[in-house]
Amino acid sequence: MRRILVVEDDLAIRNNIMALLRLEGYDADAAGDGVEALEYLRAGSYALLISDVMMPRMDGHQLLQQLRSQPATVQLPVILLTALAEKHDHRHGMNLGADDYLTKPFQREELLKAVEARLGRLAQQQAETQRLQSEAHRLRYLDQLTGLGSRMALLEALSGQGVLGEQHHEQVLVLVLGVDHFSRINDSLGYQAGDAALRECGQRLEQVLGDAGRAYRLIGPNFAVLARVPGREQAQALAQQLHQAWLQPMTVLGEEMFIPVSIGYCLYPADADDAQQLLGRAEVALHQAQNLGGSQVLANTARMNAEAGERLRLNNDLFRALERHEFEVYYQPQVCLHDGSVVGFEALLRWNHPRLGRVSPLRFIPLAEENGQIIAIGCWVLAEACQRLADWQRMAPGLRVAVNLSARQFASPGLLYSIEAALDFSGLPPEQLEVEITEGTAMVDAERTVDTLRRLKDLGIKLALDDFGTGYSSLSYLKRFPLDVLKIDQSFVRNILGSG
């Protein structure tokens, strides 16, 4: 744009400047003072303003102050003209935001040079602004690692005037693909290998899709596909096609690698009302598929959505359950088979939910493991069980109490401190406390397990291993674990009397 506004109260000077600018090919308008200039600026836009300083009603300095206070004109280049040659006058104008200053009388070349310099700089600024806007758009809508569209690009494609607004007889399919156990790649091979694996996944996704849909990368190891399908049968077929493609090995940094994936998908308008719900429910299906062990394909269902909502509410409620005294410990007797006498108890945690009633530990223990509340809950159970057994010692001395430790609690740095605190506060002798872990917990890090168990043993505590035979431990590890009690999993003994 080469449109210039000239503000000058001297008619002869104003006409000379206008004639000069028009001869050079500029589109110029003229105003007699600052007030009239503001009217021009409200009616249209200009690339440059040339203004006299000394004018009636509103002078050049006052006009400049007005321009710099308005968002629409704060960046408008301004050249001030004045007959005052004092430096402080120039400095005052520049401090107000003038871009250049010419002293009257000035030569034709001086004015044209100042105009060209200001417009040239403006063009550079506009080009840089466009470049930055383009770069911001690229960063917002394009995944930098894979070159696929981003989550924002997917949502924009779905929303507004996107595919959900188009009238078709087909279903809109959003399919979310997640790499199972992706952290193992980063942990074992490093982040460079992880990034290379994700790039390979993106390329394979585009290759398998072809023209059947468009691929996006969401976040981390999760990708998405946007497609149109006639119905559920075709959606399932596309999901299975993608799943089968990932059963083939990939080459990552020169090495062959199998990268299993799980897939969840959802259809619009059959199973969702809007873009956010469509993507969210596909992600719920993915999480359910991965919770089932991975390498699964699942469609979103109404039951799945209800379970996800209930799971979220339970997760939130767990953070307040302790302070609201909703937990309760039950004590299951341990009986001696020789004489039928009670030799101890196993502490069993129960949750009395104010809305749902009794919640099964199978539902809330995994949630507490995920959100970290299991550590605080486990400490409370330890303290409660030790105190209860200490109280019972007066009536039935010599009993012991067994407390289960979760995997996260067993790996917690504060485990020994919490056990010592529970024993000290209750006064229960250490040999009457038995802590129990599962075989799966023990084998997460066998060397660390040996060290932790030995430190617990040094406190005088009894140690038990539950569910033996269901994991990967062996008799050689049993020799290294300083155990007092070994609980064989029931799957090994259920039919022991009837087996041949």
Q: Each residue of 139-184: pLDDT tens digit?
A: 788 998 999 999 989 988 887 545 665 656 789 999 999 999 888 8
Q: Quickly state the pLDDT bin for 302 (edges 50, 70, 90).
A: confident
Rounded to whole angstroms, the Cα distance separating 276 from 278 reads 5
| Cβ-Cβ contacts under 8 Å for 458 (sequence gap 6 or more) | none
Decide if pLDDT at 92 tops 50: yes
What was the pLDDT predicted at 28? 93
Decide if pLDDT at 312 tops 90: no
What was the pLDDT predicted at 161? 45
Tell me the two tokens of residue 134. 């383009």
Decide if pLDDT at 473 tops 90: no
Mean pLDDT of 312-339: 91
Beta-bridged to residue 217, according to DSSP, are 223
Concatenated DSSP letters of 299-350: E--HHHHHHHHHHHHHHHHHHHHTTTT-EEEEEEEEE-TTT--EEEEEEEEE
What was the pLDDT predicted at 298? 92
| Cβ-Cβ contacts under 8 Å for 385 (sequence gap 6 or more) | 329, 331, 347, 401, 403, 422, 433
What was the pLDDT predicted at 156? 87
Output Rg (C-alpha) for the chain, integer angstroms. 38
**Mind listing the pLDDT tens digit for each residue in 14-34?**
999 999 999 999 999 999 999
Is 116:122 a contact under the CB 8 Å cutoff?
A: no
Is 381:349 a contact under the CB 8 Å cutoff?
A: yes
Rounded to whole angstroms, the Cα distance separating 458 from 334 reads 25
- CA distances, 308 to each of 25, 282, 311, 362, 366 (Å): 67, 12, 5, 16, 14
Helix (H) or strand (E) holding 116: helix 108-141
Nearest to 78 by CA among 122, 127, 40: 122
What was the pLDDT predicted at 403? 95
- pLDDT, averaged across the chain: 87
Rounded to whole angstroms, the Cα distance separating 288 from 469 reads 27
**Mind listing the pLDDT tens digit for each residue in 34-43?**
999 999 999 9
Tell me the two tokens of residue 98. 């003038």
| Cβ-Cβ contacts under 8 Å for 138 (sequence gap 6 or more) | none
pTM for this model (two decimals):
0.57
When mean pLDDT is compared across 294-308, 393-407, 471-485, the lowest value belongs to 471-485
Vertex 481: Cα angle to 475 and 487 (nearest 5): 70
Helix ranges restricted to H, 143-224? 151-158, 183-189, 191-209
Q: Quickly state the pLDDT bin for 270 (edges 50, 70, 90).
A: confident
Is 27:4 a contact under the CB 8 Å cutoff?
A: yes
| Cβ-Cβ contacts under 8 Å for 232 (sequence gap 6 or more) | 171, 267, 270, 299
For the ranges 87-91, 270-274, 399-403, 462-466, the one whose mean pLDDT is highest: 399-403
The amino acid occupying position 178 is G
Q: How many Å separate Cα 380 from the centre of its chain?
A: 32
- Residue bearing the bigger pLDDT, 463 or 482: 463
Decide if pLDDT at 425 tops 50: yes
What was the pLDDT predicted at 163? 62
The pLDDT > 90 percentage for the chain reads: 51
| Cβ-Cβ contacts under 8 Å for 475 (sequence gap 6 or more) | none
What was the pLDDT predicted at 8? 95
- Kindly report the backbone phi and psi dihedral angles of residue 109, in degrees, each rounded to the nearest multiple of 5, phi listed first: -65, -35
What was the pLDDT predicted at 11? 93
Is 48:122 a contact under the CB 8 Å cutoff?
A: yes
Q: Quickly state the pLDDT bin for 474 (edges 50, 70, 90).
A: low
Rounded to whole angstroms, the Cα distance separating 81 from 193 reads 64
Rounded to whole angstroms, the Cα distance separating 281 from 175 reads 10
What was the pLDDT predicted at 484? 85
